[in-house]
Amino acid sequence: MHPDGYYFGSTLAKRVDYFAFPRTGSHFLWTAFTGLFDLVFFPNEHVENPEARQRSEELNPLAIYAMKLREEGVPFQPVYINASAQGLHGGPVMGTNPLIILIRNPHPTIYSWYHTAKERWGAQISDVRIWMRNAYAQYTAFYDQAMELLRTYPDKVHLIRFEDLKIDASALKRTVEFVGVRPKLSPEFVFEWTRFDRMTRSGPRTFYRVGDNAHWSTDSVWKGHMEAAGPGNFTRFGYPEAI
């Protein structure tokens, strides 16, 4: 068994490489992938550790059960989505496989990253504004690289916007078409079960925090830090410039 030729029984898995910046909604999207595809994995430290198991405790078990179902008559088709082609959250590169890239508005992304780092992982951040400048610079470098790949290889790179995933099932339908297999559950069914309020357990959560792109804008202290940090212009990524 080798990542470049993953057979499940006698069936060769479709392989797609996956890239996303921290806190852009990857775990939300992967729950949807679980419903759409017969995902197969190689053992790795990113999915087999206490942190990964603790994250699952914040999810609604009924939603997880729903994603394991299969519509009648849909054949088994293994799909290998490699999320560590460049290591965890490594920058996007084009290899021999098609790519899926997830992007999210930078402001809720950085806000979520900061609070998750502080509240879940106990990060000590002495200067918030310096941290923000560095985080926004990393985001910018990641997605400049991603957009260049999209321009260079438009037929081999599929961009998913977190914001589109929240609207309706269209983004999931386009992703299924890109991967090129018949989904085991309809995108409409998967969309309904992965709505944030339905997918997560009620009560306190430190990983699946809010799922709301506007939450950061109600934090006046954070907005003051942002204005001082000067995060930059993100219109080239399809997001408004205004803070």
Instruction: Determine the pLDDT at residue 191.
Output: 95
Instruction: Determine the pLDDT at residue 208.
Output: 61
Report the alpha-carbon distance of residue 57 to residue 128 in Å, rounded: 30
Instruction: Determine the pLDDT at residue 96.
Output: 93
* Two structure tokens written together for 188: 């409409």
Q: How far is CA 11 from the centre of its chain?
A: 27
Report the alpha-carbon distance of residue 134 to residue 130 in Å, rounded: 6
Instruction: Determine the pLDDT at residue 153.
Output: 98
Instruction: Determine the pLDDT at residue 46.
Output: 57
Q: How many Cβ atoms from other residues are within 10 Å of residue 24's Cβ?
A: 27
Instruction: Determine the pLDDT at residue 1.
Output: 43
CATH class held by domain 7-236: alpha beta
Report how far apart the first and last C-alpha atoms of the chain are (Å, whole number): 49
Q: How many Cβ atoms from other residues are within 10 Å of residue 68's Cβ?
A: 10
Instruction: Determine the pLDDT at residue 151.
Output: 97
Instruction: Determine the pLDDT at residue 203.
Output: 65
Per-position pLDDT tens, the chain of length 243: 454 555 555 567 899 999 999 989 888 899 999 999 999 877 666 555 555 556 677 778 888 899 999 999 999 999 999 988 777 778 999 999 999 999 999 999 999 888 888 877 677 888 999 999 999 999 999 999 999 999 999 999 999 999 999 999 999 999 999 999 999 999 999 999 988 778 777 766 555 656 667 788 888 998 999 999 999 899 999 998 666
Q: How many Cβ atoms from other residues are within 10 Å of residue 51's Cβ?
A: 12
